[in-house]
Structure 1
Amino acid sequence: MAEEQRVIIPTSETGSRSWALDAWGFLECTMPHSLKRLALQFIKEAYNKGITFFDTADVYGPHTNEILVGKALKHLPREKIQLATKFGIVPKGSDLRNSSVNGSPEYIRACCNASLKRLDLDYIDLYYQHRIDTSVPIEETMGELKKLVEEGKVKYIGLSEASPDTIKRAHAVHPISAVQMEWSLWSRDIEEEIIPLCRELGIAVVPYSPIGRGFFGGRAVRGKFVFRDNAEITSKVRRRKYREEQGVLYSNRKTGCKSWLYSCSACPCLGY
């Protein structure tokens, strides 16, 4: 697609660090191998539509998603792409519910080197700790991440699902550029402490599950993803009442949810 045909998407300033992320991220989670070619085309088309911030993780697949994203980026101008990946979740088989976490310096370095190899890149724009390892002081984790920044392997550091105290302690060691948390009209717990803290420290907020894990995604999405194991919110009455309370127009709920996050100066990752 010609450059002049590309859709220009507004950018959000990313914390106290001098770079910007597209207001719409593209989350590449696990995907069947049979859809690999389609996925590559999808990423290219996302770029043609103006999306230049791509988010993946070593645990997606595991590992195969980084390879897929890396292959797709070979066909895109690297200097115009912001690539985020993550470390810290140690999968045990295919069921992530049995995973453990690891935030030790040795593990971080090994993960970073492995991700760079799978992505076939020289550096990672934004490197998240996917989940916090409470057995390792965050200062030790951040110390190793700081070294990776100094070595040029990582540009910026992020945290995912971190408490306010962890964010403050980590930021004291090295500036945190982004915090990824679940945030939507369905899940607003972070608004009490984490959002004000991130704004105070100049940290960007990158919400995942912007349509409430499929709650606002329509009947097909809800049936596939969200309500299979959550009996508490399966009632049609509960769903209708919640939409009425939040003032979300049913006919335009997905766009409305993401637009609401953008109005909050957030940079949501596209997904359910």
Structure 2
Amino acid sequence: MKTLVFGQTGQVARELARRLPLGVSAAFLGRDRADLSDPAACAAVIAACDADVVINAAAWTAVDKAEVEEAAALVVNGQAPGAMARACAVRGLPFLHISTDYVFDGAGDQSFEVYHPVAPLGAYGRTKLAGEQAVQAAGGRFVILRTSWVVSAHGANFVKTMLRLGAERGSLNVVADQIGGPTPAADIADALYGMAAGLLAGKPGGVQHFAGGPDCSWADFAREIMARAGLTCVVQDIPSSAYPTPAKRPLNSRLDCSGLAEFGLKRPDWRSGLDKILQELVV
């Protein structure tokens, strides 16, 4: 299976490069070769490629910055995936695209099912939803993989921030009223390869949810990071109102991942993934 991946340095793209299954090859496109701020150029790359499947692992992920630069974020998160999906549809290539729990409003305390009504709270969620809608409208074979709270040993993420602050401080205030599923990027990469193979084998695809379990708060996640890393920093619970941000975060990021069974996949345990991340970071 020849795979074309948009993205090179992000958390998921790096794990896709590290976790190539047997019999799978992949070409990774950085911003120098495929800038998502130029959707037509991205489509042209697909039109000229010899890949069997295309994965978009690139995105505008600066949630707060999107609040003041929504037009630019919309090009990257909305228009570029649509252009990619249309180019894939013309060639008959399966297209896999990563989305987010931010397409929901975060209300309630139940896990969001795939077909739950979408209602983004802010600009980032709106731009990601626009991308989902454009991919679905393209008419090709696709998987839109909504995920949440992505972590890895690479880039900037919650695990690395907690390790740094936990080593510097005796106590730390962390939001406790936002609940979701931490998701190791390595598990997302494995799922994408599995779903790509499934699409090539004739599975119908569609929108899927993929998040680590069990669900927890950011504060609980932080405590687990401290404990497993051997740090004595005490994590104290605070409400979201005590940690204001330009973009409003959903309080409920729980995702119903039951549809993964269609691809022979199951929800990963983030605690196992966290141990692997810590082993890589604390060597």
Q: TM-score, normalised by structure 1?
A: 0.36
Q: TM-score, normalised by structure 2?
A: 0.35
